[in-house]
Chain A
Amino acid sequence: MDGNHLVVTFVGFFVALSIFITWWSSRTTKSASEFYVAGKGVPWVQVGIAMVGSYLSAASFLGCPGDIGVFGIDSIWLSIGFFGGYMALLMLIAGPLRNVGSFTVAGALARRFPDDKLKLAVMVATIIISTFYLVPQMLGAGLLFEMLMGWNFLYCTIALGALMCFYIVFGGMKSTLYNQVVQALFLWVTMVVLTVMAYFIVGDGSFTGILGSAAQTVPPIIAGKDPAVVAAVCNLPAAEAIAVARQMLPDAPTAMTVGVKASSTLVMISTIIALVFGTAGLPHILIMFFTVPSARAAKKSVTLCVVGLGIFYLCAIVLGFLLFPAIYPKLVSWISQGGTGVGMAKNMAVLEISSMVGGKWLMAIGAAGAVAAILSTSAGLMITVAGTVSNDLYKVYINRNATEKQELLIARVTTVIMSVVAVGLAVMLKQKNIAWLVMLGFGVAASAIFPGMLATLWWRGATRQGVLASVVTGLLVSVVFIVLLLTQGDKYVFLGLPVGGGPGVFGVTAGFLALFVVSKLTSDHGKDVDEFLALAHKPDVE
């Protein structure tokens, strides 16, 4: 069986399994609670693993090692940043949010501040964040099959959108969780096995040896732009190619040199602020806490997730450095093809090393792992949007007396519309960088959701107007930065501030400032604030 047939077989297996799980779980998905939060009785182990699946997108599986393979050590903070986000979520948000939440993020805030305007603002933020996160998943799936199999980008993206739509419309949160568990386990095991194999086959079991090789390597992003170097190294074995490139460019930085990718400290800090606070504001992660029976279970599920993600991202970093001794000539050759080639290098490097250390079987498993990452993340995002439109828009502004049946119908229709919108945007934004689009979603989440959520759960002095101001300000600042980024490019400086790192540090600061100032000037501390805080912080029970 050749590589392409194996890829089709593995991906087909996942699609069939997803359909089976959907059919199986749809038999018990009848009420709104079962559709949105799987009846609130899911074991913490299952939710912890599903959370890993929901969080690990194609950007993590392919992009994190691939970025190191292109730029070198600067890119390790992509993995560390993604990982670090869970600390704020675990220590500051998970437990209290589980205690006060219902179905959506807006619903949790509205429990203390019952205000339709606040619900609307959070709903808009949720849709924007989820769209920024969902579109790159669709884009990633289409590109993966286009690059790997030569299939039509549009058809692949449509097929994935249709599959997502199917398993949410019929199975709701329960099917999403089961699918995420299967996909997370597969993805995680694939990453660990691949890294261990590559570590011993390519890296000879020596971490210092791997770093020593990186310290000699001219980063592919530099070597690939020199036609003479490209011509000289392309047909050589990796070790020889690294030596030849170094001889030809003796003064070039190495893959261990700081500053090859990140030219500005402020841009880098803005990026990691977006990651650390953005995770704690991602609606599709936050709603997972409503699926477990207690706050203690919510914390335990995040802890399992943090340990799993830590191992995954450590592997991603090691695998990134292993790309140099494994496939250096290929990386240089990709980069020499210009912008599209850089994308190929970032997204295909993991599959290339899989093929090298484990043959076509491992490459096919790697490709299926990437598809698993895309499926599980997209499903979590779609159900989040469906829930917020149905609960926070339809039930608040359109039909306050909606029956459960009508509510579920709206959620399902929203899923279909969202799938169409995501596929359309993915086709429009095909040339954009996947990890970069995901980063923008984190920036909006950090700016618009995190300050208000933190204050609602912990600060007695927060007021309804203050929280509303923080959501609106964070959202506006993020949108302004994103529009500037999309229209002016990442070198643009706005009011003396570089926009290249996204809205992260600026949006979070603006959100907290608005929250503090407006809360000090107003006095609506919320409905039964004592009761709310006592409920949010009640002692943990199993």
Chain B
Amino acid sequence: MSTTDPANAPAPASMGHKMLVSFGLFAVFFVFYVGAALVQSPAGKDVATIQVGGLPLGLILSLAVFPLSWLLIAIWFKVAR
């Protein structure tokens, strides 16, 4: 019978790696997602209107959420088995 405190017991071998990759990639997505939303909010109004290549930066960052997500998913499938 194990006497280890369940809260401090080691994680199953595959779980530590999965946790690192899954939470790490989700954190990248989440920071970008909330950051882009902040830029496109009243607080980031001045930054959002900066023109980059003829388009407002706020719009570019907001739309970039789509390809970034697909890229992160591709990475996640490669490394989080």
Q: Is the C-beta of A49 less than 8 angstroms from some C-beta in chain B? A: no
Q: In the complex where A84-B69, A314-B66 touch, is A208 in contact with B26 (Cβ < 8 A)?
A: no
**Please, how many angstroms separate the alpha-carbon atoms of A54 and B38 in the complex?**
29
- CB 8 Å contact bits of B12-38 with A (1 = contact, 0 = none): 101100110011011001100110111
Which residues of chain A are near B62, meaning CB under 8 Å? 76-77, 80
Please state if B34 and A269 are interface contacts (CB–CB under 8 Å).
Answer: yes
**Please, how many angstroms separate the alpha-carbon atoms of A263 and B41 in the complex?**
8
Q: Is the C-beta of A469 less than 8 angstroms from some C-beta in chain B? A: no
Name the residue among A73, A84, A264, A307 with the largest chain B CB count within 10 angstroms: A84
Q: Is the C-beta of A236 less than 8 angstroms from some C-beta in chain B? A: no
Which residues of chain B are near A272, meaning CB under 8 Å? 33-34, 37
**Please, how many angstroms separate the alpha-carbon atoms of A318 and B1 in the complex?**
62
Please state if B59 and A269 are interface contacts (CB–CB under 8 Å).
Answer: no
Q: In the complex where A460-B9, A530-B6 touch, is A84 in contact with B41 (Cβ < 8 A)?
A: no
Please state if B69 and A310 are interface contacts (CB–CB under 8 Å).
Answer: yes
Please state if B70 and A88 are interface contacts (CB–CB under 8 Å).
Answer: no
**Chain A residue at smallest Cβ distance from B67:** A310
Which residues of chain A are near B6, meaning CB under 8 Å? 460, 525-526, 529-530
Q: In the complex where A314-B63, A537-B15 touch, is A87 in contact with B29 (Cβ < 8 A)?
A: yes
Task: Please tell me which one of the listed residues B12, B48, B65 contacts residue A80 in the complex, with CB atoms under 8 A apart.
Answer: B65
Which residues of chain B are near A537, meaning CB under 8 Å? 12, 14-15, 18
**Chain A residue at smallest Cβ distance from B43:** A265
Please tell me the number of chain A residues within 8 Å of chain B, measured between CB atoms.
Answer: 48
**Please, how many angstroms separate the alpha-carbon atoms of A80 and B33 in the complex?**
9
Q: Whole-angstrom distance from the CB of A508 to the nearest CB of chain B?
A: 12
**Please, how many angstroms separate the alpha-carbon atoms of A472 and B2 in the complex?**
32
- CB 8 Å contact bits of A255-271 with B (1 = contact, 0 = none): 01011001111001100
Please state if B7 and A533 are interface contacts (CB–CB under 8 Å).
Answer: no
Please state if A77 and B73 are interface contacts (CB–CB under 8 Å).
Answer: no
- Interface residues in A447-473 by Cβ distance below 8 A to B read 458, 460-461
Q: In the complex where A87-B69, A306-B69, A460-B6 touch, is A258 in contact with B45 (Cβ < 8 A)?
A: yes
Q: Is the C-beta of A204 less than 8 angstroms from some C-beta in chain B? A: no
Q: Whole-angstrom distance from the CB of A354 to the nearest CB of chain B?
A: 24
Q: Is the C-beta of A90 less than 8 angstroms from some C-beta in chain B? A: yes
Which residues of chain A are near B49, meaning CB under 8 Å? 258
Q: Is the C-beta of A475 less than 8 angstroms from some C-beta in chain B? A: no
Task: Please tell me which one of the listed residues B38, B42, B58 contacts residue A264 in the complex, with CB atoms under 8 A apart.
Answer: B42
Task: Please tell me which one of the listed residues B7, B26, B55 contacts residue A91 in the complex, with CB atoms under 8 A apart.
Answer: B26
**Please, how many angstroms separate the alpha-carbon atoms of A348 and B8 in the complex?**
57
Q: Whole-angstrom distance from the CB of B36 to the nearest CB of chain A?
A: 8
**Please, how many angstroms separate the alpha-carbon atoms of A91 and B58 in the complex?**
26
**Please, how many angstroms separate the alpha-carbon atoms of A540 and B36 in the complex?**
33
Please state if A259 and B56 are interface contacts (CB–CB under 8 Å).
Answer: no
**Chain B residue at smallest Cβ distance from A273:** B34
Which residues of chain B are near A530, meaning CB under 8 Å? 6, 9, 12
**Please, how many angstroms separate the alpha-carbon atoms of A129 and B58 in the complex?**
32
Which residues of chain B are near A87, meaning CB under 8 Å? 26, 29-30, 33, 69, 72-73
- CB 8 Å contact bits of A515-542 with B (1 = contact, 0 = none): 0000000010110011001100111100
**Please, how many angstroms separate the alpha-carbon atoms of A80 and B49 in the complex?**
19
**Please, how many angstroms separate the alpha-carbon atoms of A526 and B6 in the complex?**
9
Q: Is the C-beta of B78 less than 8 angstroms from some C-beta in chain A? A: no
**Please, how many angstroms separate the alpha-carbon atoms of A526 and B7 in the complex?**
10
Please state if B12 and A306 are interface contacts (CB–CB under 8 Å).
Answer: no
Please state if A307 and B70 are interface contacts (CB–CB under 8 Å).
Answer: yes
Q: Whole-angstrom distance from the CB of A324 to the nearest CB of chain B?
A: 15
Which residues of chain A are near B54, meaning CB under 8 Å? 208
Which residues of chain B are near A539, meaning CB under 8 Å? 14, 81
Please state if B14 and A258 are interface contacts (CB–CB under 8 Å).
Answer: no
Q: Whole-angstrom distance from the CB of A99 to the nearest CB of chain B?
A: 12
Please state if A538 and B7 are interface contacts (CB–CB under 8 Å).
Answer: no
- CB 8 Å contact bits of A66-89 with B (1 = contact, 0 = none): 000000011011001101100110
Which residues of chain B are near A460, meaning CB under 8 Å? 6-9, 11
Counting from the closest, the 4 A-B pairs by CB-CB distance are A525-B6, A265-B43, A461-B7, A537-B15
A-B contact pairs, 17 of them (CB 8 A): A84-B29, A84-B33, A87-B33, A87-B72, A88-B26, A259-B42, A264-B42, A265-B38, A265-B44, A272-B33, A272-B34, A299-B77, A303-B77, A310-B66, A317-B63, A460-B8, A530-B12
Q: Which residues of B contact A (CB under 8 A)?
A: 6-9, 11-12, 14-15, 18-19, 22-23, 25-26, 29-30, 33-34, 36-38, 40-45, 48-49, 54-56, 58-59, 62-63, 65-66, 69-70, 72-73, 76-77, 80-81
